[in-house]
Amino acid sequence: MKIIIAEKPSVARDIAKVLKISTSKKGYIEGRGCAVTWAFGHLVTLLEPGEYNPALKRWSLQNLPFVPNEFKLKLITNRGVAEQFQIIKMLFEKAEEIVCATDAGREGELIFRYILALCSCEDKPIRRLWLNSLTPDAIQTAFKNLKDGHDYDPLYAAARCRSESDWIVGLNATRYYTVRHGRIGGGSDRVLWTIGRVQTPVLAMIVARDDTILQFRPQPFWELTTRYREVTFKYNGKRFQNLEKAEPLLQKITEQSFTVTAIAAKKKKEQPPQLFDLTTLQRELNKMHGISAADTLTATQSLYEAKLITYPRTDSRYLSEDMKPRIPKILGQLKALRPEQITPLDLTKLPFTKRIINDKKVTDHHAIIPTGMTPRRFGANEQLVYDAITTQFIAAFYPVCLKNITTVDGVSNQIQFQAKGTQIVDPGWTVLFPKKKKATADGQTLPAFKKGETGPHEPFLREGKTMPPKHFTENSLLGAMEAAGKFVEDDALREALKERGIGTPATRAAIIETLLRRNYIRREKKQLRCTDMGRCLVALIRDPLLKSPEMTGEWEEKLKQIERTELNPDDFMKGIENYIRNMIQDNNTRQLDTSRWGNCPLCGKEVIKGKRAYGCSGWKDGCPFVLEPNCKGKMLTGKQIQILLQQRILPHPIRIDDEPRMLILSTQGMPLDLRLPSADRQKHVTKTDRH
């Protein structure tokens, strides 16, 4: 008997329908010598420490680090899981062959292999069904091309390493920081500080950005500008940091004539947009409509299960060569939905450029595109996501946008100026994005200038102030996660950094939602801002690697190397084990420097003690940092001041007005009076952080 297992009941029903298997049983569908069954996503997880050794149920520094000699599995405790697992186990034991039809990716492979292992059926013959969409044609084609399941052993090895490394880092770091720093006022209440291999570096990025903005001091500047024939010309030199240096130049050109010295026109081709991968889609929907990454993923998954788009959890923006024959058919089917947009395309001569078709750039799955099937009624988010995917797909085959970039040079009393303007010659693909085109229009409309023409002008100084970086939005944070903490807009550079991205396209939305749920960050309109709890946690963590986007990116790159059999999984796991052991050992041995107070959080210089307060030694240079030892009527001791300045946090929270509080030093130099969660909200203190 052949057993096919899908990740969800809905996918199992789609497969059974295509294979004409129709007899419904409890927990599976049977017929034609086959049975199609399903999981509910993850059914199996790793054991908790207390299940290896009852003594480990108690959280203690003496038991850390804990790394099992061999990881063991158990069922998750959700309703209906145990019953469904027994049905799967019964079917697997009868099976002559097992076909894995879970999601075609790292986590889908892990779901299947963990179930297989817990059923003790790892010796059974296994095959792999690799689906890019759930249309009947795609399912039939995939079944004709079943692969040996063991061809995907490297993918499973990478998935297992991801799971076990998250367990090791998350569990040990969470227990360590909770036991070491979670006690409230010496009482029995404890704050749960959850640490994660991926989530903590993301939180640290948000805290660092918010701190940079808090520390930012705007600097004034002046730009020399002039108006000639209603066109703004800017001075060719640098802008001025003080008014005294700018005014002499302004006086030099006041009541002088302005002469056009050169006119240069350059044609520019703006290529059509590339197809969407999941992260780019999430960024676009957040930027244009303010939809969260999690809601975009939910809508995209719904569209996939409705057979309207291809597999969503992809990191590729390209299609494979074998997709070429299917594209004209998909566009032909979409013509009923978008006649005005598709009619201009010659479906017999589509421009299949390397920006669209590139086998080397397709990983587990190709870019997200429509399947061509007729849409049903949508929810609001589903409609926006489907429209974005469809428009992007059509635009990829449109002509380039042609622009004329005109640069006009001018001079007044030997002072050089320049103006730039843009004219659209042929809008090409941009006609499909009227709103975006309007929002991104650059340059000013220029009249017809002639070289050598002269006339009066209106010079002036424009005063401005330097601006701090912007707070993260989900759009910019996803971009930073994709590029391992680096902030790049260039498509080619971001593509090169994908190997070292933080998390995966499938997990990034969940990481953001986890930080929100744990009150480490909060949403303010489109912005993501750290909370005092989030800043406190980052201040607690002294190990820079635990909050390093670069280190997390390196780990992710190594997982991809395991997928390609370029790295031994055991070597990766040994590295993780050594890291967590060293991290805990280093934290235990780190001592406070009692010979000094600490560094200024604003400028980094030494802090000195005054008669009434502590202040920065750079006060003569203008540093305003002052730390008052009195906070809400509580006088901080000298040791507590040292801890605040050297570690940015008090080791044991104090009680103020009978409320448990923890003091951390903000980047503005003031102790943050942080209310900690009450004991009745600490019911889940023994749960392990998984992300």
Whole-Å CA distances, 274 to 281, 353, 506? 11, 10, 20
Q: What would the pLDDT profile of 218-269 be if each residue is shown by its tens digit?
A: 999 999 999 999 999 999 999 999 999 999 999 999 999 999 999 999 999 9
Token pair belonging to 529:
């801002």
| pLDDT for the residue 680 | 36
| pLDDT for the residue 160 | 97
381-388 mean pLDDT: 96
606-623 mean pLDDT: 87
Residue 630 to residue 419: CA distance in whole angstroms:
57
| pLDDT for the residue 688 | 35
Whether residue 1 has pLDDT greater than 50: yes
Catalytic residue list: 311
Specify the 3-state DSSP secondary structure of 410.
strand
More confident residue, 668 or 236: 236
Region of poorest pLDDT, from 65-74, 110-119, 642-651: 642-651
The CATH label, of 3.90.1200.10, 3.90.180.10, 3.40.50.140, 3.40.640.10, for the domain at 2-164 is 3.40.50.140
Region of poorest pLDDT, from 224-228, 473-477, 593-597, 616-620: 593-597
Whether 264 contacts 406, CB under 8 Å: yes
Region of poorest pLDDT, from 187-201, 246-260, 280-294: 187-201
Q: Is 272 exposed, middle or buried (0-12, 13-18, 19+ CB in 10 A)?
A: buried
pTM of this structure = 0.85
> How many Cα atoms occupy the beta-carbon half-sphere of 404 within 13 Å?
11
278-395 — its CATH code?
A: 1.10.290.10
What count of residues does the chain have? 691
More confident residue, 161 or 684: 161
Whether residue 186 has pLDDT greater than 70: no
652-681 mean pLDDT: 54
Q: What would the pLDDT profile of 513-530 be if each residue is shown by its tens digit?
A: 999 999 999 999 899 999
Residue 279 to residue 43: CA distance in whole angstroms:
27
More confident residue, 615 or 632: 615
For domain 220-269+401-463, the CATH class is mainly beta
Q: What would the pLDDT profile of 638-663 be if each residue is shown by its tens digit?
A: 877 887 787 766 555 555 555 555 56
Look-up: residue for tokens 């988010």? Answer: 381
Helix (H) or strand (E) holding 412: strand 401-412
168-183 mean pLDDT: 90
Q: Where are the domains of the chain?
A: 2-164, 220-269+401-463, 278-395, 607-681
How many secondary structure helices (H) and strands (E) does the chain include?
Answer: 21, 26
